[in-house]
Amino acid sequence: RCADVAMYQAKTHGENLHFYDASMDANSTRRLTILADLGVAIRSNQLQLHYQPRIDLATGACNGCEALLRWVHPEQGMIPPGDFIPLAEMTEMIHPLSLWVLREALRQVRCWLDEGKEIAVAVNLSARNLIDVRCPALIQSLLHEFGVPNHLLEIEITESALITDPERALQVVQSFHDLGLHLAIDDFGTGYSSMSYLKRLPIQTLKVDRSFVKEMLTDEADAVIVRSTIGLAHSFGLNVVAEGVEDEATLQALCNLQCEQAQGYHISRPIPAAEFDAWYLQRRGN
Ligand code: C2E
Ligand code: MG
Ligand code: MG
Ligand code: MG
């Protein structure tokens, strides 16, 4: 295992070096501008959360959603998370950013509770958050502040976020578990290692990456990966969320495979809270 971890760390390092090489071109200016603007964005209401519903395949009910960050830049318009989160992740900027996301998501869950709706929210955390030993206490104080029961907050982590400092990440993840937070491995199957985490981490859920779900009906290799992941998860007593479900036939196939939950454009795109409320009411038949 040690040798594996060392190899993965070397690989990650390699990627970072590659990034620094690449940043010596014209793009670096844009990147620096984005990072500088992001500090302003956090303080001046340019950030928003969109919520993507997640449904229970057995009942069709929606009990949870994933909070996804959006940045409406005053000059550049909507900047997708893929264009600024990786940059923030390379600096300390990810800390205020994740704090903003957690606070906003919990504020929203509080609103839903006040309206009599118990909806869990899943928040994506980054590698730097996972090696920050202050993170669990910070989250606990936010949950207190909003009076949100701990089980309504889910934390999504990726396999690659765990390899920067596996021991420290394990300690933080264990603290999340001790707080009663729900933990999911995101983009499962696309990271470096998988099996050792299944054994060591106190998680409840695997999210099958959408790259496998997308063509599971036409590509046999993808079908095998989705089927095996569901089987593997169930063997470990975990439940499975399929991401990126884009049509009814895929939804049905996942249901037949005993996949517990699904998320995707076929169910709903990520939407602002007001639209989410309308979607939710219609779904419940009210
Ligand atoms: P993710 O956590 O795997 O989130 C799922 C992504 O898949 C979202 O992209 C979502 O809009 C997209 N998606 C959902 N259903 C479908 C579908 O049926 N088809 C297709 N083609 N795409 C679908 P988004 O919002 O652009 O976010 C991309 C990634 O950015 C996220 O991947 C996550 O890794 C990261 N991210 C987003 N918000 C946050 C955040 O608040 N904090 C952190 N650390 N990362 C975030
Ligand atoms: Mg996610
Ligand atoms: Mg994902
Ligand atoms: Mg993904």
CA angle 8, 14, 19 (to 5 degrees): 130
How far apart, in whole angstroms, are the C-alpha atoms of residue 70 and residue 93? 16
Ligand 1 in reach of 244 Cβ (< 6 A): yes
Per-position pLDDT tens, the chain of length 286? 333 333 333 334 434 444 445 545 667 888 888 888 999 999 999 999 999 999 999 999 999 999 999 999 998 899 999 999 999 999 999 999 999 999 999 999 999 999 999 999 999 999 999 999 999 999 999 999 999 999 999 999 998 888 888 899 999 999 999 999 999 999 998 877 668 888 889 999 999 999 999 999 999 999 999 999 999 999 999 999 999 999 999 999 999 999 999 999 999 999 999 999 999 999 987 5
| Distance separating alpha carbons of residues 285 and 277, to the nearest angstrom | 12
**CA–CA dist 106, 97 (Å, integer):** 14
How far apart CA 275 and CA 24 sit, in angstroms, is 42
Interatomic CA distance for residues 45 and 31, integer angstroms: 21
Q: What is the dihedral of CA 81, 83, 88, 94, to 10 degrees?
A: 0
Asked whether 66 and 50 are in contact (CB, 8 A), the reply is: no
Residue with CA nearest ligand 1 atom 43: 124
- What is the model's pLDDT at position 266? 98
Using CB atoms within 10 Å of the CB of residue 221, give its burial: 0 to 12 exposed, 13 to 18 middle, 19+ buried: exposed
Q: Whose CA is nearest to atom 15 of ligand 1?
A: 264
Q: What DSSP designation does 271 have? A: B
pTM for the whole thing? 0.91
In the chain, the amino acid numbered 34 is I
In three-state secondary structure terms, 172 is: helix
Of all ligands present, the nearest one to the C-alpha of 68 is: 1
Q: Is residue 37 lining ligand 1, measured as CB closer than 6 Å?
A: no
Is any atom of ligand 1 closer than 6 Å to the C-beta of 189? no
Which ligand has the minimum distance to the alpha carbon of residue 156?
2
- Six-digit token string for 34: 């984005």
Query: Does 126 sit in the ligand 1 pocket, CB within 6 Å?
Result: yes
Q: To 10 degrees, what angle do helices 135-146 and 166-178 make?
A: 20
- Cβ contact 104:153 at 8 Å: no
